[in-house]
Chains A and B, each alone.
Chain A
Amino acid sequence: MKITDIIQALDLKIISGQNGLSNEIKGGYVSDLLSDVMGNATEGQIWITLQTHQNIIAIASLKEISAIILVKGSLPENDTIEKSNTENIPVLSSDLDTFSIAGRLFDILKME
């Protein structure tokens, strides 16, 4: 499944990193602890978090995360947006909380 399909299905707002929107999604990961993501997330996953600072892009890029979903309507900081655009890692935003958005994403991905 492509990120663009997820954006539509989950009604996500595209904040930045448009050039990465054709990335393929292979599952999801939910965590706000950066070492947990570093140690346990895998390539191609979509990462749901409430962290908005630029280190999330560094991690996403190192781990080859396909996109980041920020929860509860959070918006990233400006340097996060810039980095997301240079690394081509889409930052998306949902008005829902982590539990709700993760649940919906899980439902969509399990049908694959």
Chain B
Amino acid sequence: MQFKHKIAGGDFAKAGNIASSVKKILRQLNIDHAVSKRIVIALYEGEVNVVAHAYSGIVDVDIDEEKIKITITDKGPGIADIEQAMEEGYSTATPQVREMGFGAGLGLSNMKKNSDSMNISSVPAEGTIVELITYIKPDAR
């Protein structure tokens, strides 16, 4: 099962909509509750990062019997130093975005903790690709 969603940069009102529709699908597929909770956290953070830091993005979700693979591809400023971006508390979010409670610098670490594998590749001034894999049966990791 495969599907695709678009994200518009800057559109905070819709942030979380993709995580919400994926959550419904995971429930219909009877995916283990603990597994789907992790996927929802990781996807939400990935979605918010495109909204907060990039110009536009596409989320590809690919579900098979074994795993869920989520690929978030955006056009944006990219991430020059991925290691630094991964540090908890590191954020380049604007003061307005921080005031709303976003921009705590915890998003990427939430994504890492809540997926079985996370891979980031980025080209500065072009964009970022984040790939998240989560196994459906927790013991299949």
Contact = CB atoms under 8 A, between A and B. Distances in A.
B16 A35 contact: no
B106 to A, nearest CB: 4
Most buried by B among A39, A54, A61, A79: A39
A110 to B, nearest CB: 25
Contacts of A55: 12, 15-16, 100-102
Contacts of A32: 101
Given A32-B101, A34-B100, 9 more contacts: A33-B106, A34-B48, A36-B106, A39-B41, A39-B114, A53-B100, A55-B15, A55-B16, A59-B16
B104 A35 contact: yes
Interface of A: 32-36, 38-39, 43, 49, 51, 53-55, 58-59, 61-62, 79
Interface string B9-51: 0001101110110010000000000000100110011001000
A35 B102 contact: yes
Interface residues of B, number: 24
B113 interface: yes
B20 A61 contact: yes
A58 B17 CA distance: 8
4 smallest CB-CB distances across A and B, nearest first, come from A58-B16, A35-B106, A33-B104, A34-B101
Given A38-B41, A39-B41, A39-B110, A58 B104 contact: no
B57 interface: no
Contact of B45 (A38, A53, A54): A38
B107 interface: yes
B102 A58 contact: no
Contacts of B20: 58, 61-62
Contacts of A54: 13
B104 A79 contact: no
